[in-house]
Structure formats: structure tokens, C-alpha cells
Amino acid sequence: MPPSATEADIQELADHLDRYLKRVEAGETIEITREGAPIAHLGPVREKEETQEEPSAREKMKALEEKGILSWSGEKPPSRMPVAEVKGEKTVAQMLLEDRR
């Protein structure tokens, strides 16, 4: 919990929400508790510069390409052929069930 945090029971917070929100607007963080146990923090919204957005999958792949870790043509990978074929009238599921008995 940040050093300027205040603790408030959930019922106290509900009863005096406006008062606590004013404190949050002033930069304070409130630790919300239920029966003495912390359950959440209520704090000021961080500015966009402070937050770090997760790079997209495309950005991650481009970074890996630039490092030479992978190469990709940008096309969909070819469909895979089945690894094994079932011969006979039984399905794979039936064969698995028999094998487990």
C-alpha cells in the first residue's frame, strides 16, 4: 500500500463515498477492507504517460523478426495434415475408450 494510503471498511466507504472520493482526487489511495482484511485499493487515475500498454501480437512478432529470432512471410501457415489415420469402422474416441478399460 502506498505511504499516503488510508484504510476504510467497505461500509464506511459506502456511507461516506463522497468524502473518500475527494481524498482520492487529491492524490490519496484508499485501502478498502472487509472485516479488517484488505480487498481493494481506490486510487487516482494515472496519466497515459504513466501507464505502459502491452504491445500487440503484431508488434511482438515484428520485434522478434528484427532480432532475427523468427521469420514470417505474413501469410497463413499451411493446413496440417492429420498425424495418423484411423483404419476400420471405429472412431478414435471409441478406440481410446476401449484402451482405457
pLDDT of residue 3: 45
| pTM confidence score | 0.44
pLDDT of residue 50: 56
28 part of a folded domain: yes
Q: In total, how many domains does the chain have?
A: 1
74 part of a folded domain: no
Q: What is the pLDDT of residues 11-34, one digit of tens each?
A: 999 999 999 999 999 999 999 999
Q: Which three cell numbers stand for residue 76?
A: 497463413
Q: Which three cell numbers stand for residue 27?
A: 492524490
State residue 9 phi and psi, 5-degree precision: -65, 150
101 part of a folded domain: no
98 part of a folded domain: no
**CATH code for the domain in which residue 36 is found:** 3.40.1620.10
Cβ atoms of residues 28 and 52 within 8 Å = no
For 37, the domain range is 6-42
Q: What is the pLDDT of residues 37-89, one digit of tens each?
A: 999 999 998 776 556 778 888 888 888 888 888 887 778 877 777 677 778 88
11 part of a folded domain: yes
34 part of a folded domain: yes
State residue 41 phi and psi, 5-degree precision: -120, 140
Distance CA 34, CA 10 (A): 6
pLDDT of residue 75: 81
